[in-house]
Amino acid sequence: MAVKQGSFGKLIDAVTDRLSDLLDGLVPQPEAVPIPVRTDKRRPR
């Protein structure tokens, strides 16, 4: 978007970026999420 922003637009962008960073900190990281592995021997592949 090549739209010229005023100071209000820059303020909104700054608040949005900060809120996005804070919410990213609350979401668990992909490497921290356990991945279930099926080990059922009753059904062969």
Cα–Cα distances (Å) from 38 to 32, 34, 41, 45, in that order, read 19, 13, 9, 11
Rounded to whole angstroms, how far apart are CA atoms 14 and 45? 52
User: Tell me: the pLDDT tens digits for 1-45?
Assistant: 445 668 999 999 999 999 998 888 887 666 666 777 877 777 666
HSE-CB for 30 with a 13 A CA cutoff = 0
Burial label, 6 (beta-carbon count in 10 A; 0-12, 13-18, 19+): exposed
pLDDT computed for residue 29 by the predictor:
67
pLDDT computed for residue 4 by the predictor:
63
Query: Structure pTM?
Result: 0.46
Instruction: Output the CA torsion sign for 6, 7, 8, 13.
Output: positive
